[in-house]
A and B are shown apart, each in its own frame.
Chain A
Amino acid sequence: MLAIIPAYNEQEALGGLLAELRVLPRDGFELDALVIDDGSSDHTSSVAKAGGARVLRMCKNLGIGGAVQSGLRLAHREGYDAAVQIDGDGQHPPGELPLLLSRDGDLVIGTRYRSKDGFRSVAMRRLGSWWLRVLLRAVTRLKVSDPTSGFRLYRKRALDLFDETYPYDFPEPESLAIARAAGLTVAEVPVTMRERQGGKSSIAAFDSIYYMVKVTVAVLLAYARAVGRVPEERSDAD
């Protein structure tokens, strides 16, 4: 399994996260760490290398969608059975990874809203998340409690699908709509998240109405575009 860690100027939090991943008990799985340095201007890459991770260095900032898709593409090409996305800011405790693995499904989301423990983000963000939940349920009939969670497990069919197409604009909710439209099974499991362990959030406009309008349109279009799309299976030659 490949741990995909998108990181933009996360030199403060990344070292600790990689140390946690190194000591994580491997119970029936192997885990490689891959840090996607999304055009950072700090020492994110060197911290990642020092932490024993493989590093993809983007020559320009692609945003979270482009960064995550790079990792998914690499996982798909190198024949990994699964990939787990973990934020580089340390919000996602690697110790919760076995919980994701314990659930069946092509795409398993770690949700912070079903557990009363741990970090639950600000009220405006929770309101935005509520709207996305309603939207996804209405459009795709998908019931998820945390559509913006970036702590997620992609199994083989999800890797096949997202190697071809992965949204760049609002990747978390859009990718759920795409997965649903392509007939993938989406599951979720409660996890405990933490506050970011360092650095600054790159999400500044989440609380704006404009953001919600854009993400609503993006989810609708992503679903319409992906309906009936069947992920191409990886061939042995790959």
Chain B
Amino acid sequence: MQTEEYYRFHDGAGNLVFAGVCLLIALVLLRLILRERITLQGSMSYLAFVIVIGAMAVFPDAAGRIAHALGFSTLANFFFCSAIAALAILHLRALVTLSRVHLRSVALTQELAILQEKLDRVLENR
């Protein structure tokens, strides 16, 4: 029988350091959004992921209870499992977006070439 303590993070500075790292990543994301290097729509899920794992550090007891309810024997397993799943989903989303952008880029290149050829012919016939 595991004690409730088993599901807890180590209390103290470690949790706060981890939460601080998450906050820092969130701030970097916000800065990139403000500088229009990434779009808000595309980065919302990443932002949510950082906030959730940051919240797990700030509220370790709640995270421990969820882990226990889901059948994880240690909080670390729950943490790594959920982080890997979330990152896999984020990667898949990025792949979908990248493929869509690639296909649009091909279509635009084709349209541009067709229009350019038409324009050249109009100008030549003038």
With A57-B113, A57-B117 given, name 11 new contacts (CB 8 A): A36-B113, A55-B117, A56-B116, A58-B110, A58-B113, A59-B109, A59-B112, A60-B109, A69-B110, A70-B114, A74-B114
- In Å, the complex CA distance between A55 and B114 comes to 9
Residue of B with least CB distance to A54: B117
In contact, B116 and A57 (Cβ under 8 angstroms): yes
Taking Cβ atoms with an 8 Å cutoff, the residues of B that contact A are 106, 109-110, 112-114, 116-117, 121
Measured between beta carbons, the chain B residues less than 8 angstroms from A74 are 114, 117
Closest Cβ–Cβ distance, residue B4 to chain A (whole Å): 50
- In Å, the complex CA distance between A186 and B109 comes to 30
Chain A residues touching B, range: 10 to 19
- A231 proximal to B (CB < 8 A): no
* Main SS class of interface, A: mixed
Closest Cβ–Cβ distance, residue A238 to chain B (whole Å): 14
Q: Give 20 CB contacts A-B under 8 Å.
A: A54-B117, A54-B121, A55-B117, A56-B116, A56-B117, A57-B116, A58-B110, A59-B112, A59-B113, A60-B109, A62-B106, A62-B109, A66-B106, A66-B110, A69-B110, A70-B110, A73-B110, A74-B117, A77-B114, A168-B106
In contact, B117 and A66 (Cβ under 8 angstroms): no
- In Å, the complex CA distance between A10 and B112 comes to 22
- In Å, the complex CA distance between A57 and B112 comes to 9
- In Å, the complex CA distance between A21 and B114 comes to 22
- In Å, the complex CA distance between A70 and B112 comes to 10
Measured between beta carbons, the chain B residues less than 8 angstroms from A59 are 109, 112-113
* Main SS class of interface, B: helix
Residue of B106, B110, B112, B114 most packed against chain A (CB within 10 A): B110
Measured between beta carbons, the chain B residues less than 8 angstroms from A54 are 117, 121
Measured between beta carbons, the chain A residues less than 8 angstroms from B106 are 62, 66, 168
- In Å, the complex CA distance between A54 and B116 comes to 11
Residue of B with least CB distance to A49: B120
Measured between beta carbons, the chain B residues less than 8 angstroms from A55 are 117
- In Å, the complex CA distance between A62 and B109 comes to 8
Measured between beta carbons, the chain B residues less than 8 angstroms from A56 are 113-114, 116-117
Residue of B109, B112, B114, B117 most packed against chain A (CB within 10 A): B109
Nearest first, the 7 A-B pairs at minimum CB distance are A56-B113, A70-B110, A66-B106, A56-B117, A58-B113, A74-B114, A58-B109
- In Å, the complex CA distance between A57 and B109 comes to 9
Residue of B110, B113, B114, B117 most packed against chain A (CB within 10 A): B113
In contact, A66 and B109 (Cβ under 8 angstroms): yes
For window 199-222 of A, CB contacts with B under 8 Å fall at: none
Closest Cβ–Cβ distance, residue B119 to chain A (whole Å): 12
- In Å, the complex CA distance between A36 and B106 comes to 14
- In Å, the complex CA distance between A168 and B116 comes to 22
Residue of B with least CB distance to A69: B110
- In Å, the complex CA distance between A168 and B106 comes to 9
Measured between beta carbons, the chain A residues less than 8 angstroms from B121 are 54
- In Å, the complex CA distance between A145 and B122 comes to 43
Closest Cβ–Cβ distance, residue A38 to chain B (whole Å): 10
Closest Cβ–Cβ distance, residue A3 to chain B (whole Å): 15
Measured between beta carbons, the chain B residues less than 8 angstroms from A60 are 109
Q: Mark A66-79, 1 if CB is under 8 A from B, else 0.
A: 10011001100100
Q: Mark A33-67, 1 if CB is under 8 A from B, else 0.
A: 00010000000000000000011111110100010
